[in-house]
Structure 1
Amino acid sequence: MIEIRNLQKLYDDTLAVNGVSVTIPTGVVCGLVGPNGAGKTTTLRCLAGLIRPTAGEIHVDGINPVTDEVRLKQNVAYVPDDPPLFDDLTVGQHLDFVAQLYRIRDHRPAAFDLLDRFDLMPKYDARVTALSRGMRQKLAIACAYLISPPLLLLDEPLTGLDPPGIRVLLDSITQYARAGRTVIISSHLLAMIGDVCDQVWMMNRGSVRFHGTTQCLRKSYPAAATLEQAFFAAMNDDPAVASETTPTRIAEPELAAVG
């Protein structure tokens, strides 16, 4: 279970995340959506333990990212929208390196299965510099799957993927969550969010505008015929819905917000 309580992140005089509180149960896919500068990436980086929050608490299956950084990194995989790979390593060497780093024994069968699934086996001996943008994205995701963490964070994971690659990734995300793990996807593709996500988490200007099931989102905005219309209604609604159980007005941040 993911628990975030009153999360705040301040960069100098800029408030990026303002009092975010959400709870995400195990075994679900949660879609994190919002306009540019909403604070989505900052929130994910706090969850991954890459940056420290200014205030508030985060618990990932009981692990505090601030006080137990090593244990957190053993249980969380974060794939940014432009994954940092090693130019000097081949595709196969990336998976070998990850397996060695996380002490995964006999990883080759699982690694080969992932490469087959993401159509990367023909590039097994190719260096990263020879890969397309979409192939680099698939390699980073394959490395994350090899670790098999309880929490998987994907920041704009569909960037550069072709339609077959998108379908394979979305199917794999659903299977991964149904195996008892949690996936949080940050994306601007609302149709994809509605297709694969069990929950929707909407942010704007660093604050939560809505968090709940897709069904609850539509019930909260009955005039909206699509998830896209419900999204714009939530973004523009003054008395925003913060959760599916407790409607409340979300206080706007006093400072400017960035992503």
Structure 2
Amino acid sequence: MLTVTNLIKKYGKQNAVDDISFELDGGEVVGLLGPNGAGKSTTMKCIVGLLRKTSGEITIGGHDHLSVEAKRFFSYIPETPYVYDLLTVKEHMQFIAQAYGVKDWQGKAGELMEMFELDDKANKLGRDLSKGMRQKVSICCALLPDPQLLFFDEPMIGLDPKAIKNTKEVFKNLKEAGKTILVSTHLIDSVETIADRIMILKDGSIIGNDTIANLKQQAAQSEISSLEDLFLEMTKDA
């Protein structure tokens, strides 16, 4: 579903992403973990085409990641949600439906807005929404076209506890439907219960890439009490 090969992103002489390669299979939920500044958001923005990569190859569904064919495969939920000031919540959904050619979108839009408690805010303008509400609108818009691949960049930040629970439930349902999800976060507990696999980034390089079960076994053998402690141990400065 997603193949990243020898991805490099330079800022001046510094490698923000330093020659990383990985693949995501269909129906897989993968957590991209790392401390702040590790290169998680840069990696994700290069994949979705918001940043120009310095070198490397990225394919989505067998297509170059910048092609229209690839863009039909995925949705991207950024860390800082962007909404249109003068569109209402419902008009955001309508805009996405028209852009992606989603037919009979009103029913699904209604279900999503109800799930994220936006149904009573359907006619509220984007400029009047809190950050948490904007994040919810962003997630609803991403789910509306029913993409095969979803990229979530720090999805839990700004959400209230109920919305976090709903988002995790959405992840579970998407996985059961065979969707592929890449979740970027620096909070391991936000993905520990939903991820099949964890990739750990540090200083732009992948320093760990394994299943949750194997990482837990590694933690136990190292007499480390939790995945969080293992993550902190792996990413600490030497």
| TM-score category, normalised to shorter length | over 0.9
Paired position in structure 2 for 1:59: 59
Q: How far does residue 72 in structure 1 lie from its aligned partner after superposition?
A: 1.8
Question: Which stretch of the first structure deviates more once superposed, 32-41 or 185-194?
Answer: 185-194
Partner of 2:194: 196
1:211 paired with 2:221, answer no
Report if the CA contact (8 A) 1:48-1:72 is conserved: no
Whether 1:163 aligns to 2:180 is no
Name the structure 2 match of 1:137.
135
Q: CA deviation at 1:237?
A: 9.0
Please give the per-residue CA displacement for 1:150-195, whole angstroms capped at 9, x wherever unaligned.
1110111111111111101111111112211111111122112211
Q: Deviations over 1:17-50 (max 9, x none)?
A: 0111112211011111101111100110111122
Unpaired segments ≥5 residues, structure 1: 239-259
* DSSP-derived class of the 2:80 partner: coil
Alignment map for 1:110-149 (pairs within 5 Å):
110-149=108-147
Rounded to whole Å, the distance in 2 between the matches of 1:98 and 1:210 is 36
1:155 counterpart letter in structure 2: D
Q: Bigger shift: 191-200 or 84-93?
A: 191-200
Q: Does 1:229 align with 2:221?
A: no
SS at match of 1:47: helix
C-alpha separation in 1, matches of 2:24 and 2:235: 21
Residue 8 of structure 1: SS of its match in structure 2? strand
Contact 1:90–1:127 (Cα < 8 Å) also in 2: yes
Please state how far the C-alpha of 1:236 moved relative to its aligned partner: 4.2
- Find the residue that maps to 1:100 and give its secondary structure: helix
Q: What is the percentage of aligned positions where both structures have the same residue?
A: 37
How far apart in 1 are the matches of 2:56 and 2:100? Answer: 29
**Residue of structure 2 equivalent to 1:20:** 20
- The residue number in structure 2 matching 1:34 is 34
What is the aligned partner in structure 2 of residue 109 from structure 1?
107
2:5 aligns with 5
- Asked whether the equivalents of residues 82 and 134 of structure 2 are also in contact (C-alpha less than 8 Å), the reply is no
Q: Which amino acid aligns with 2:5?
A: R
| Aligned-partner Cα distance in 1 for 2:82–2:163 | 20
Q: What secondary structure, in the 3-state scheme, does the structure 1 residue paired with 2:144 have? A: helix
SS in 1 for 2:192: helix
Distance across 1 between alignment mates of 2:126 and 2:79: 16
Contact 2:153–2:185 (8 Å) recurs in 1? yes
**Structure 1 length-normalised TM:** 0.87
Secondary structure of the 1:10 match is: strand
> 1:186 maps to which residue?
184
- The equivalent of 1:47 in structure 2 is 47
Which one-letter code corresponds to 1:49 in the other structure? G
* TM-aligned CA deviation for residue 74 of structure 1: 1.4
Letter of the aligned partner of 1:191 in structure 2? D
Whether the 8 Å CA contact 2:81–2:131 is kept in 1: the answer is no
Shift of 1:216: 1.4
Unaligned residue ranges in structure 2 (runs of 5+) = none
- Secondary structure of residue in 2 paired with 1:196: coil
Deviation track 1:59-89 (CA, whole Å, cap 9, x = no partner) reads 21212114x2x22221111111111110000
Length-normalised TM-score, structure 2: 0.95
> In the alignment, residue 54 of structure 1 is paired with which amino acid?
T
| Contact 2:61 2:70 (C-alpha < 8 Å) held by counterparts | no
When the two structures are aligned, how many residues end up with a matched partner?
236
